[in-house]
Amino acid sequence: MLIYNINYIEFWIYFGLFIVFLLISIVLGQTILKVAKLKDLPNGLTLLLSLTLGILLWLFTSYLFGYLKIRVVSFLFVIIGIFLLYKQRLEIINYIKRFFKKLIKTDLVFLVITVIGTTLQVFVVALSGLRTSDGVVFHSLNGVDGIMHLAFSDFLKTYFPPIEPGMSGTYLTNYHYWVDFLNAEVSRIFFIPTIHLNFQFFPLLISIGMALAIYYLVSLLGGGTNQQRWALFLHFFAGNATHFFSFLLHGEPRFYTPSFDSGFLHFFNTPQAIARLYLYICLILLIIWYKRKSFRILLLTIPCIASLIDFKIYYGIYMILAVSIFLGLLFINTLIKRRKINNNLWESLLYIFLLNIVVLLIYLPTNKNSGGLFWAPLEWPKLLLGAANLDWNEWWLRMQVYEAYKNYRNLIIYNGMAVGIFLISFFGTRIIGLMPNPERFKQKKLRSPIWLIYPSLYIIMFLGLFTLQASGGGKYI
């Protein structure tokens, strides 16, 4: 594997090739937006959607070509992309100029938060995988999960479809390999080392893309400048509250307690990072569709949601639930008011059918033997309160007494305390942003988009509290 430091000319040549990949993705994505008749969006939002949809086009076509054993055809996309890039060069240059002019006039506080937050997020991973006088150094989890993802990516460059990795004769689910597949395809087609894609190039792209997505998502939900600032601040700087409870229980913050969610450590879990970006893209497209009622826009969400299944499956489940609940409520509301099925309702049914087909095509090939969820009430909160984490002995002793004497009142109280500590620890300071403003529920134009976000969130929280996941080999993960 070729590895360079930032003072090597080769590193910047590879970064230039990465920019070429992004430009080709943008021009392909703009073609998709034109087909969907999405031409009148703000420059930044058009750029964001063009780039993310263009990258998905790479992934889905590469996925198809891989199963058809014609992966070499992917190189035609480079030729087509370069041709379109040359043909639309003046339009793209003017477009980029307008974008940066608009960027300069954007809220200064938002820009400062973006620059500081992106720098800190990327810094955590960007120093790993570079050539130094001491060799190649990997910091913290980058030396565990990061190397694992590099191994998967380099494997996928040569072999496709992926086989489920074996461990002691047990096959585990390979349910979020698309991040590695993305690295593999960009590396295979543009000859960029996967190590730089994984630790330097994609983290920078995703971090900036996330800031843009938050800006436009809050705007589409009716939020103003203050809401945009707070949303971005919480994204970059929010963290869990386990250390706070460690201090309350033991008089000191124990830093070996689990870090459920931290803006700084976002890229220690690359699948979650890119899945969160595409989840925001899904929500943006759905809100635009709700305002315009264009079936073409609704169709754009299908590849976004399907990709979440193999980026990070629980993000995919969240979006499938969100869309199903949202369209179901619209369906029922329309039937009650009009007492007949109109074209919009037929389109909704067709959409649900197509979504499930695409999701199953993505999920089943590498997950047909995977295990599912099983009932395990409050196991996660109990694990957090265990000796290896918060170590709250009094809670465990009291629970044993209450269970022995069937004191249901205190069992409910103490289980409620465990759930409260778990949720506050899990969401930490980010929990402020989860609380919907009651005044906004009263605004008719915002009521439906809010219903798109919250019901599925509460269902996912319930699943996290009361179920665990079994792997295909019968092992728990």
Q: What are residue 173's phi and psi, to 5 degrees? A: -70, 135
Q: What is the pLDDT of residue 256?
A: 65
Give the other-Cβ count within 10 Å of 472's Cβ: 18
pLDDT (tens place) for every residue of the chain, 477 residues total: 667 677 789 899 999 999 999 999 999 998 999 899 887 888 889 989 999 999 999 999 999 999 898 998 888 888 888 888 888 888 777 777 777 777 777 788 999 999 999 999 998 888 888 877 777 878 777 777 888 888 888 888 888 877 654 444 443 445 578 999 999 999 999 999 999 999 999 999 999 999 999 999 988 887 888 888 988 998 898 888 888 888 888 888 776 666 667 777 888 888 888 999 999 999 999 989 988 888 899 999 999 999 999 898 889 999 999 998 888 887 787 777 776 666 777 788 889 899 999 998 888 887 766 667 889 999 989 988 988 888 899 999 999 999 999 999 999 999 999 999 998 888 877 776 656 555 554 555 545 566 777 888 889 889 889 988 775 543 433
pLDDT for the residue numbered 169:
41
* pLDDT, position 139: 77
For 98, residues 6+ apart whose C-beta sits below 8 A from its C-beta are 43
